[in-house]
Amino acid sequence: MYSPLDAKRAAPLAVGEATALRVAVVGLGYVGLPLAVALAEKFDTIGLDIDVRRIEELAEGRDRTGEIDAGRLDASELALLAEPGRCPPCDFYIVTVPTPIDGANRPDLSNVEAASRTVGAMLPAAVAEGRVPVVVFESTVYPGVTEDICAPILEAASGLECGKDFFLGYSPERINPGDREHTIDKITKVVSGQTPEVLDRVADLYGAITSGGVFRAASIKAAEAAKVIENAQRDINIAFMNEIAQIFSAMDLSVWDVLAAARTKWNFLPFAPGLVGGHCIGVDPYYLSHRAEQLGLDPRVILAGRGINDSMAGWVGRRLHEVRGGKPGSVLVLGLTFKENIPDLRNSKVADLVCTLGRLGHAVTVHDAHADPAEAMHGYGIPLVAEALEGRYDLVVLAVPHRAYLETGGKGLRGLVAEGGTLADLKGVLGDADWTL
């Protein structure tokens, strides 16, 4: 892998030098890094990230997200840069920065707007070299953001005209953290372009790196919309599961027993209740509902689903408190990441569960087999206690079924429970827990 200080790699082409197709990927997180590494196997590719520490780690072969192993990083021809001004002119600039929500659940486009300004400043050099650059956005947004918000920023930063000097594309990311089956080189990639010719170029680029083929969306807005409803659909289905889990709990009926029976029907959808976190499912529906409200519409189903899922951690915390007779005690929560076997702490609803139990007077200790303790403290103010598995607690909650916990098994986890204590399983994976959803 090229060093971030590799001047030869970062220098623009000399006059008269051949212009091989070159790609820049802006943002090297869970989405950008796998994409950049895959593109680097086919094209001259530069990975840009303003986080100098991130660039240094990747240059040393370390990916804190766990998406790309050290061997593949070391073998990659991907060039790494933290300074956009050193990026050589490119044919494609692919933006993969995160698009979160703010405290009021409104879309926060500050990252994608900043990335647009950064890319805009790089476009004149590409045009001057005779390239016709295409700016492709992968960040999840509501329909219209690419053309109505990003395009004017690109024009202002570059002094160029969109649709004449440079063009737009959109290809929604489909990275599923920790998923080694549906990787960037195997999935179908939805692509779109500002013109038919640009669509062909974008399709050729992505088609070169995936065996799953490409789907040519009818428009950029259609591609943006497809992405946001993929996650909204899952959110709504899980919300139904969470609602029936609460209903059945009031009936002293196991939702897992009910689902085991219902799933014998051939067209029953295999969703399950749980804490809905992460950067996608717990966030993207708010992008669509925001745009709907701007249009004077009332997205009742979308917001109802979000309301149920956002409140689920609080309900679980209160229910566990009731199971313990309403008496505060010592609690061990196993797992803080938003899903199993990954270090991703973004939008973790387990953190909400921890806060609920704390407000109810319980002394909560948290352990996670994958999360970075510094990130947990910075993001949530929750210390991860490495030696937590050496104690015994009134309540042990398997919140995230990391492989390390499952290998211990129900018997091993029960060894963490004090006499008269409770073993709770939020995913219904242990089979012999005292309480499940």
Distance (Å, rounded) from C-alpha 155 to C-alpha 160? 5
- The yes-or-no answer on residue 162 being catalytic is no
Q: What is the pLDDT of residues 3-22, one digit of tens each?
A: 443 432 333 333 334 358 99
Q: Which of 88-92, 177-181, 398-402 has the lowest mean pLDDT?
A: 177-181
Q: What is the pLDDT of residues 316-356, one digit of tens each?
A: 999 999 999 999 999 999 999 999 999 999 999 999 999 99
407: buried, middle or exposed (CB in 10 Å: 19+, 13-18, 0-12)?
exposed
pLDDT at 163: 98
Tell how strand 167-170 and strand 189-193 pair up. antiparallel
Distance (Å, rounded) from C-alpha 363 to C-alpha 377? 17
Q: Residue 181: which pLDDT band, with cuts at 50, 70 and 90?
A: confident
Q: What is the pLDDT of residues 58-101, one digit of tens each?
A: 999 999 988 898 899 999 999 999 999 999 999 999 999 999 99
CATH number belonging to domain 231-436: 3.40.50.720
pLDDT at 6: 43
What are the boundaries of each domain within the chain? 7-217, 231-436
pLDDT at 19: 53
7-217 and 231-436 in the same fold: yes
Homologous superfamily assigned to 7-217:
NAD(P)-binding Rossmann-like Domain (3.40.50.720)
Question: Which of the residues 87, 162, 280, 355 is marked catalytic?
Answer: 280
pLDDT at 14: 37
Distance (Å, rounded) from C-alpha 282 to C-alpha 97? 17
Q: What is the average pLDDT across 386-401?
A: 97
Distance (Å, rounded) from C-alpha 234 to C-alpha 236? 5
Q: Bridge partners of 14?
A: none
Q: What is the pLDDT of residues 115-130, one digit of tens each?
A: 999 999 999 999 999 9
Return mean pLDDT, the chain: 93
Q: What is the pLDDT of residues 284-301, one digit of tens each?
A: 999 999 999 999 999 999
Q: What is the pLDDT of residues 254-291, one digit of tens each?
A: 999 999 999 999 999 999 999 998 888 889 999 999 99
Please check whether residue 39 is in contact with residue 77, taking contact to mean a CB–CB distance below 8 angstroms.
Answer: no
